[in-house]
Amino acid sequence: MLFITLLAPKGKGEKAVRYLKELKAPNGITVRGVYFTLGRYDSVILFEAADAETAMRFTMEVGFETNYTVETLTAVSAKEI
């Protein structure tokens, strides 16, 4: 399953940016990319996980480590619909 996590800053500034730049995927997660953006969200993580429970554990860890507000979406390829 493919997921998109949107991150909005709340604290930790440079420390959070460094954490995201050095993000290491735990077992069961494949990070396809980490992007810094302008606008409502400052960062986006595109990743794969076998199921929603694994994805939720990963995004909770990212939220705790960065102190960012985290919103995660399930992504489905247009070809699959």
Global pTM value = 0.90
Count Cβ atoms below 10 Å from residue 7 Cβ, excluding itself: 24
Confidence of residue 9 (pLDDT cuts 50, 70, 90): confident
Which residues have a Cβ under 8 Å from the Cβ of 41 and sit 6 or more positions away?
6, 7, 8, 71
Nearest alpha-carbon partner for 63 in 17, 7, 14, 24: 7
What is the arithmetic mean of pLDDT over 55-66?
93
